[in-house]
Structure 1
Amino acid sequence: MKRTLAAALAAFACMAPSHAADVEVLHYWTSGGEARSAAELKKALAARGIGWKDFAVAGGAGDNAATALKARVMSGSPPSAAQVKGPAIQEWGDEGVLASIDAVARAEKWDALLPPAVAAIMKYKGRYVAAPVNVHRVNWLWVNPAVLKKAGATAPATFDEFFAAADKIKAAGLVAVAHGGQPWQDATLFESVALGVGGPEFYRKALVQLDQATLTSPTMVKTFDTLARIKTYIDRGAAGRDWNLATAMVINGKAGMQFMGDWAKGEFTAAGRKPGVDFLCVPAPGTANAFTYNIDSMLMFETGKSDQPKAQQALASAIMSPAFQESFNLNKGSIPVRAGVPRTRFDACAIKSMDDMTASGKRGAFVPSMAHNMAVAPAAQGAMMDVIARFMNSKMASKDAAAALAKAAKTR
């Protein structure tokens, strides 16, 4: 009987999962390319003996995921890790609910692998609490060269060239600017215009430091004037349109240009389009020497479970590994956040983004995206986005919009 019992236990051990621990990961990577990217992380963890408990919350901007995370933490049962960005990391740190991953960060020399601006975001009071997954460049303009050719226009580098091209596309009977009338898309457009009109130092003072004098300055008024002019090239069907449907308008030749981050590239490649041939990725007008960034990161939480610290360290190490950084970002359309990842499999748009990230970092023009939760606290960001959306959907004067934006920036 003892031999029989021993055999049964051995058989059960063979069938049981071999994972030493599981990590529950709350994320909002739910679209096609994003889901494939999440699967790569699950695979990388499995290779390290760590199981993955999926907690996916749909919603591209992450608002639904943030609400779910807050509910879990307040109930005393936080996930092992959650997809969190920018200033929200510091806010969670102030709540005293975060787990340190400083040991693995020191062992793997993250300070030497990451841009200093990125490393600072991932730390709370000098200790790493989050692992950065990627870097998205937000200030891209996506262009259909066939539409340009039909209209007799060229890809713009300045706003003068942009409006000249837009006039020609409109005269050819096509939509010049594909856009979705949603607050986060309005804010994405706005911040690229602000960067192009005022430059990185103006952008940083206005949309990162929230300097009141800069927010009400003539340059900000000019930013809204430029935005008002761009509005005239957006079609009437834009209200409520999802970003990927706007991208499809450019892909299908119904529109010439779109202001959007590099996640739009995934739509072009999924449709079988080739960069430099079927579509162009150029910096938004006036922003060639700057880079607005959006970084996905995994923030670690104290769960009270003894097996979690080791599992969280393994998760962080897997995220920062060159192999994962390559596979994830090839699927996501973004670029690796760490140094030392081979470039050979990345396309021309990604390589341009990598080069521009390095160059902008050296010249102090690597700035966080306000529209994508990287620059200011959520309360101020939400109030500012409301002002921008109101401007996009009304005849509000530019001077009034600048004053309203400055007031919104004081929201706490």
Structure 2
Amino acid sequence: MLKLSKLSAAIAFVVVGASALAGEVEVLHWWTSGGEAKSVSELKKIMQSKGHTWKDFAVAGGGGDNAMTVLKSRVVAGNPPAAAQIKGPALQEWASEGVLANLDATAKAENWDSLLPKAIADGMKYKGNYIAVPVNVHRVNWLWANAAVLKKSGVAGMPKTWTEFFAATDKIKKAGFIPVATGGNAWNDLTNFEPVALGVGGVKFYNDAFVKLDPKALNSDAMKKSLETFRKLKGYTDAGAVGRDWNIATAMVIQEKAGFQLMGDWAKGEFVAAGKVPGKDFLCAAAPGNAGTYTFNVDSFAMFKLKDAAAQKAQADLAVAIMGPEFQEVFNLNKGSIPVRLNMNMDKFDECAKLSAKEFVDTAKSGGLVPSVSQDMALKPAATGALKDVVSQFWNDDKMTPETAMKNMVKAATTK
């Protein structure tokens, strides 16, 4: 992220009104459709019940890119919102600019350290101080399947290893279905590669390669085997995948055109919206080789420094509301994710969410809980983008050798 002092010359200021009213809380987000918008309205109700005024600052489009452009303008102008939807290492980049508020008092009063796994809590901190509040947890390393396609293809249950997976895809292909549905862009390519690498190489390899960017891990036998497995996976996708969006690939599984899809649990929302029942119409399981691991994608809100005391109080109440059981339940039921709190009642959630919640807790204890590199949780945005390009080039160029791809990964690791 550019230094804010330099940014002022590059980005036009957004014209804003008077300073925030007492008790007003302004929230920047890009949750503008469907269940997400419904969830935001619930948060608004909670804040209004505490006597505060909610000011919605929704910026649609671009997966948050548009919102970040507007946010930078507001911060440069000295008029930041109370909270903004920011996640991953980008939180620390913002904190390094000195513009985020210290939430330690609220965190201590609400016992966040005991309610959050350390891996999640650490991501919400800068130099040991809380500067953001987490909203939810998406698991990324899921394998989804159409139950009818598996049955018609003679596949008994979800494959637990890559060997079992490829044996299953052979049967599905022979039965006349597309074995693996996938989208066709760089983001989807890295989302597919993430569970392959984790399943082949294990947690230590994954952390060394995609969190620490260790050149030895990026140029290792485990990476070579991961890339070879990744290329084999491509052989079970269809030619129409180029340019396809991930949700269209999910629709192929829903419509019994394809057997499997590797995707985060936002795909579950597509199945449920189509009236499909987990455990009956579609199946969910950890990706092959990924048992005992959990790649997480956590949405969060950064809290900005405010001058007005009443606004600060409203901001603190917002942080408490976001982590509160009421909002954690309603938001995640709508979003397809699970609560980030460890002590939540999961009775209202479906079996895939319950499985996710159990394995979230288990992997937090075992060390198998790792940040998703494909969803911008493991690396700074520039490094993620460079790695994404390498993986996508390898996926799309059948002539590129694993060795060449590994050398390119090492080069990408030096991206600032």
TM-score range for the pair, normalised by the shorter chain length = over 0.9
TM-score normalized with structure 2 length: 0.91
Deviation at 1:191, TM superposition (A): 0.7
Residues 331-376 of structure 1 deviation map (CA, whole Å, 9 limit, x = unaligned)? 1111111122211101111111111111111111100001111111
Q: Contact 2:215–2:410 at 8 Å: present in 1 too?
A: yes
Q: Contact 2:180–2:236 at 8 Å: present in 1 too?
A: yes
Correspondence list, 1:106-145, <5 A: 106-145=108-147
- 1:390 and 1:59 map into 2 onto residues whose CA distance is 26
| More deviation, 310-319/149-158 | 149-158
Among 76, 80, 103, the alignment partner of 1:101 is 103
Instruction: Please name the residue that 2:45 is paired with.
Output: 43
Residues 39-75 of structure 1 deviation map (CA, whole Å, 9 limit, x = unaligned)? 2212221222222222223347433333332233233
How many residues of Structure 1 are paired with residues of Structure 2 in the alignment?
Answer: 394
- 2:289 and 2:66 map into 1 onto residues whose CA distance is 34
Instruction: Please name the residue that 1:14 is paired with.
Output: none
- 2:257 and 2:138 map into 1 onto residues whose CA distance is 26
Correspondence list, 1:235-254, <5 A: 235-254=238-257
Amino acid at match of 1:102: D
Instruction: Please name the residue that 1:65 is paired with.
Output: 67
Among 74, 97, 117, the alignment partner of 2:76 is 74
Residues 314-337 of structure 1 deviation map (CA, whole Å, 9 limit, x = unaligned)? 110000111111111111111111
Among 399, 402, 407, the alignment partner of 1:398 is 402
Alignment partner of 1:299: what SS? strand
Correspondence list, 1:207-246, <5 A: 207-246=210-249
Q: Contact 2:155–2:171 at 8 Å: present in 1 too?
A: yes
User: How has the CA–CA distance of structure 1 residues 349 and 60 changed in structure 2, closer, same or farther, with 3 Å as cutoff?
Assistant: farther
Instruction: Please name the residue that 1:363 is paired with.
Output: 366
Return the index of the structure with the highest Cα Rg.
Answer: 1
Alignment partner of 2:171: what SS? helix
Alignment partner of 1:100: what SS? coil
- 2:224 and 2:304 map into 1 onto residues whose CA distance is 42
- 1:217 and 1:165 map into 2 onto residues whose CA distance is 28
Alignment partner of 1:58: what SS? coil
Deviation at 1:124, TM superposition (A): 1.5
- 1:80 and 1:301 map into 2 onto residues whose CA distance is 5
Instruction: Please name the residue that 2:264 is paired with.
Output: 261
Pairing 1:346–2:340 present: no
Alignment partner of 2:346: what SS? coil
Structure 1 gaps of 5+ residues are: 1-18
Residues 155-209 of structure 1 deviation map (CA, whole Å, 9 limit, x = unaligned)? 2111011111111112222211111112211111111111111011110110011
- 2:404 and 2:207 map into 1 onto residues whose CA distance is 21
Q: Contact 1:182–1:389 at 8 Å: present in 2 too?
A: yes
Deviation at 1:226, TM superposition (A): 0.8
- 1:246 and 1:113 map into 2 onto residues whose CA distance is 36
Amino acid at match of 1:171: K
Q: Contact 2:161–2:288 at 8 Å: present in 1 too?
A: yes
Amino acid at match of 1:406: V
- 2:83 and 2:336 map into 1 onto residues whose CA distance is 23
Correspondence list, 1:234-383, <5 A: 234-383=237-386
- 1:39 and 1:67 map into 2 onto residues whose CA distance is 24
Instruction: Please name the residue that 1:409 is paired with.
Output: 413
Residues 207-263 of structure 1 deviation map (CA, whole Å, 9 limit, x = unaligned)? 011111000101101111111111111112212222111111111111111111111
- 2:162 and 2:59 map into 1 onto residues whose CA distance is 38
- 2:223 and 2:46 map into 1 onto residues whose CA distance is 46
Q: Contact 1:33–1:266 at 8 Å: present in 2 too?
A: no
Deviation at 1:308, TM superposition (A): 2.2
- 2:244 and 2:33 map into 1 onto residues whose CA distance is 17
Pairing 1:153–2:159 present: no
Deviation at 1:107, TM superposition (A): 0.9
Instruction: Please name the residue that 1:15 is paired with.
Output: none
Alignment partner of 1:195: what SS? helix
- 1:342 and 1:243 map into 2 onto residues whose CA distance is 31
Q: Contact 1:102–1:128 at 8 Å: present in 2 too?
A: yes
Pairing 1:180–2:215 present: no
- 1:400 and 1:31 map into 2 onto residues whose CA distance is 42
Pairing 1:25–2:27 present: yes
Q: Contact 1:136–1:294 at 8 Å: present in 2 too?
A: yes
User: How has the CA–CA distance of structure 1 residues 71 and 181 changed in structure 2, closer, same or farther, with 3 Å as cutoff?
Assistant: farther
Structure 2 gaps of 5+ residues are: 1-20
- 2:186 and 2:51 map into 1 onto residues whose CA distance is 42
Deviation at 1:20, TM superposition (A): 5.0
Identity of aligned residues (%): 58
- 2:58 and 2:180 map into 1 onto residues whose CA distance is 33
- 1:20 and 1:184 map into 2 onto residues whose CA distance is 42
User: How has the CA–CA distance of structure 1 residues 223 and 63 changed in structure 2, closer, same or farther, with 3 Å as cutoff?
Assistant: farther
- What is the RMSD of the two structures over their aligned residues, measured on CA atoms? 1.5
Instruction: Please name the residue that 2:5 is paired with.
Output: none
Amino acid at match of 1:164: A
